Amino acid sequence: MYCVFCEIIARRAPGRIRYEDDDIIAFDNVLRWAPVMLLVLPKQHMSQEELWQTCISKVGPVAVELGRKHCPGGFRLLSNFGRDAMQSQHHAHVHVVGGTYLGPYV
């Protein structure tokens, strides 16, 4: 199955990488709903459920570090589970969203 995130990790697709170590990678989201939209994900392809059950302790600190660095006024960490939550990629990931006042939740 084709996965654009796996393609970015393998450097077969473009992506502006903001962080990388042996297990985790972070890059700019192509969506621009807010001034800062980053994706933080395990390099190993896995589901959202697997991410939260096995490696959120690695992904979480990176997401927080990038949020603090790129959104000093505040940020949100988001993780979508399933179609109704607008999950469009099956490779597990956490969104870092900020760079402006985000307003109330919907």
Average pLDDT, the chain: 94
- Determine which one of 70, 90, 93, 95 is catalytic: 93
DSSP state of 28: E
* Residue whose C-alpha is closest to residue 95's, from 78, 83, 81: 78
State the Cα angle at 39 between 58 and 25, rounded to 5°.
50
pLDDT tens figures, 54-100: 999 999 999 999 999 999 999 999 998 888 878 888 999 999 999 99
Higher per-residue confidence, 85 vs 23: 23
Class in CATH terms, 4-98: alpha beta
Can 93 be counted among the known catalytic residues?
yes
Q: What's the confidence (pLDDT) of residue 106?
A: 60
3-state secondary structure of 2: coil
Task: Bin 54: left if φ > 0, else alpha if -120 < ψ < 50, else beta.
Answer: alpha
Tens-digit pLDDT profile for residues 26-64: 999 998 889 999 999 999 999 999 999 999 999 999 999
